[in-house]
Each structure stands twice: as structure tokens, then as C-alpha cells.
Homo-oligomer: A and B are copies of this chain.
Amino acid sequence: MPKNTDLLIAASTIWVVVTAVLVMFMQAGFAFLEAGLTRMKNAGHIAGKNVLIFAVCSIVYWAVGFGLAFGDGNGLIGTHGFLPSVTQLISVGKKPFDFFAEIPGAAGYLFEVVFAGVSLAIVWGAMAERAKLWVYFVFGAVFTLIYSVTSHWIWDSHGWLFKKGMQDFAGSTVVHYQGALAALAGAILLGPRIGKFGHDGRANPIPGHNIPYAVLGTIILWFGWFGFNPGSTLSVDFGGFGYFAYVATTTNIAAAAGALGGIVTASLVLKKPDLSMMLNGVIAALVAITAASGYVAPWAAVVIGLVSGFIAVTGVIVVERIGIDDPIGAVAVHGASGIWGTLACGLFTVPLLAGRLATGHGGLVYTGSFHQLGVQALGVAVVGAWTFSASFSVLWVLKRLWGIRVHEEAETLGLDVSEHGMWGYPEFYIPVPGGYGTEAHAHLLGRPAHVSVAATPHEHLPPAVVE
């Protein structure tokens, strides 16, 4: 006969594990969004590196990151729980992972590592189509640690920004804004792709090769975000039993508004309902509602989403204007919109909900007070300074020491064949006149035994040929 506390643990663990798994699947979303918005010649590399970096992140986060972020410690970092033991992972609410009160430490690891993986996936979007492969290993590991520190500040109960009452429900700042800061540093240090900017400095469009991929990626992300935000209750009763359903609702409404905001802005500003911009609008809205999903009313979710759609479109253009080449728009979509979402809490947080979640206070429109907005702005400023400078310095050193960008020929040829020896779509590239799907050529078949089936050709041949 199970005890009610056991059942509570069971339900909470189901919830956290299931949502963690949804978030993990966002890697497929990023892989296809990024591959879709870049060129065929890099498609395999772009998609494949998401598997690689999530792997790097999973190991590093298990060894060090998780302890740094959620192990017992001080206001700045966690100091326990590195290379966690079996017992630490299977016990519930025990030190060093007592931060997770109703789920085993393992569930905590799983939920938090997939978040780190998302932040890391964002980084590479802006660095796509020109970074060296090994940089993914090295910076992937380093960024995982940078990320862990910040998440400790804002999410862990000892974190100094948490103590100030900063509201970042699921990580507009921790996950998305941070990822975008590193992405920005990378894009600046790498410089634009060959051909992105003409001699006159005008930006050239480099169309993504597969919009259906980008759509699939976006829907997968939307899908995964239902794990991202609602799962951040880390239990079934935080905010009240079943409260996470409310979080899912604001998330969905904001995403929808983002799609509309994006496509409408594109139609007005660009005079075309650009599909990639609509998709960016969805993601920007999801990024913004990430911080606010637990705190705001549905109407505010609509506002947040619409504004995000506008930010996505204009942001992409501005970033390009100032000469930064961000192939998939990570800086605008995760950075600008991440800031917007974080500040939006300061504007729209419903006092009742801030109370239920026991984090910070109501927003400006309800309380007339700028307090919460100030706290949010502080968080944005501090994280911006820390993560950008840390990422920039590390990448700058890597660049100085070994260089982080592939050679010109490699970039022109494409990373698939130059870095991995084979294109992502070999049958479009290997110049085989036999064409797609036929392998009837020497290096695969060996010469056919006989080249003629005519008895003895000469007989039939016209004098003109034999002379």
C-alpha cells in the first residue's frame, strides 16, 4: 500500500522525466531548423553537430555542471555533487541535491542537462557554415560550465539573483539569452560567411536550402517547449496541483501570437510573408514566454508573442545591418527576444501568480511599481556582462591559438565534404553522369566484362567508319 508521499514522488518524477524527454527532442528541432536555414553543402554537418554537442554537454554536465548549478554551495556556485554517485542520484530531496524536493537527483540531472543542451544548440546557430569541428568539442565543454554558473545564480535556492527575486520561470535569460550571447561572440570572432557581404558592404541573401526542414524543426521546438516551460515546475504541485497546465496554455498562446506577429511584420516591413520569418516569430515568442509562462495572464501572453514576432523580423535585419552574419537569426530570436521576455515579467507578472510561485512580485501594470522590472533588468545586465565576456574571451583565445574558422576552400566546397569527407546529399554532389540512384560507374561496379553484344561489330559497320 503506497504512501501518499510516494505517490507524489511518483507523479512528480513521471512529469519531470516526460518533460525532460520532450526538451531533449528539441535537439532534433534545432538540427532541422538550422539545417533547413543553411545550405545543402553543409546540411549533414549542421544537423550532425547537434548530436555531437549534446553528447559533449551530457558528459560535462554530469561530471561538473550539475554540481556547479544545483549542488549545495554558496550564492555564486554549487560546490558539491560532482560526478554524482548512484545513491545521490536515486535518493529524493537529499543533499547535495535537496533543491529537488519531490524527485530523485537523477530526474534533476536529466531535466537540467537537456536545458544546458538547448542553450548550447543556440550558440552554434550563429556560427553555422564556417566553424571548425573541434571547436564544438572545446567550446561546447566550456560553455556548459559558463551556463551552469549562471543557472545557479538565477534558479538555485542559494543563488544570489534568485534571492533578489528575479523571475525567469524556464530560462529566457538562463537558457536563451545566454546561448545568444555566446552566439554573438562567436559570430563576431568568426566573421561573415564568404559572399555574405558584397564589396559594397551590402548583405547578400544566402537562402536556406530546405524550408520544410525548418518547419519541421519549428514544430518540434514548439512541441518540445511544452516540456520546457510546464516541466519547470519540477513537481506536480508547484504553484498548485496541475498548475503546469496553465503554464502550457500561456506557452501555446504566446507561440501562436508569435507566428502571427512574425508573418504580419514580414508582410508589412518586408512586403512578403516570408516563411522563415514566421518560423522565427514562433521561436522568438516561445523564447520570450519562457520566463513569463508561469507569471502572466493569457492576454499578456498574446502581447508578449506579438511583440516577439516583431522583434524577430526586425532583429534579424538589424543584426545583418550592423554586419554580423547570423545564418539562422539566433541573436535576434534568442537574444533580443530573451531580454524582452525577461523584462516582460517586470511588466505583466500577476501578483497572485508571483505569490503562488513565491518568487518576486507583481509587474508594473498591476502594481505600478518598477521594482520587479528593476530586478529583471539587473539580471539581464549581469548575465549579459558575464556570459558575453566569458564566451568572447575563450573563443578569442581559441582563435589566437589554433584558429576557429575553416579555410576558404573548405568553406566554399562545403563542410560536409571538407570536414567529413562526404556530402550530406551525396547523390546531388558526386558528379556521376549516370545520375541519382545509378552506380553503374567504374569505381563502384568494376568494368562490365564485355563492352559489345554485337557478334563482330565490324561486319555491321558502315565503310565510312572503318575507312
Contacts and interface: CB of A to CB of B under 8 A. Distances in A.
A133 interface: yes
Interface string A257-273: 11110010000000011
Interface size classification for chain A: 35 or more
Contacts of A199: 446-447
Oligomer: number of copies: 3
Interface in A430-449: 430, 436-440, 443-447
Nearest to A209: B427
A38 to B, nearest CB: 11
Main secondary structure of the interface of A (DSSP, over half): helix
Interface string A275-314: 1001100100000000000000111001000000000000
A217 to B, nearest CB: 10
Interface in A214-270: 215-216, 218-220, 222-223, 226-227, 230, 236-237, 240-246, 248-249, 252-253, 255-260, 263
Given A7-B7, A207-B430, A426-B207, A246 B21 contact: no
A48 B279 contact: yes
A197 to B, nearest CB: 9
Contact of A211 (B12, B204, B425, B438): B425
Interface stretch (A85-93, A165-173, A338-346): A85-93
Nearest to A111: B245
B428 A204 contact: no
A101 to B, nearest CB: 12
A456 interface: no
A15 B446 CA distance: 55
Interface of A: 1-18, 20-22, 24-25, 27-28, 31-32, 35, 39-41, 43-45, 47-48, 50-52, 54-59, 62, 83-86, 89-90, 92, 103-104, 106-107, 109-110, 113, 133, 194-195, 198-200, 204-213, 215-216, 218-220, 222-223, 226-227, 230, 236-237, 240-246, 248-249, 252-253, 255-260, 263, 272-275, 278-279, 282, 297-299, 302, 350, 352-353, 412, 414, 416, 419-430, 436-440, 443-447
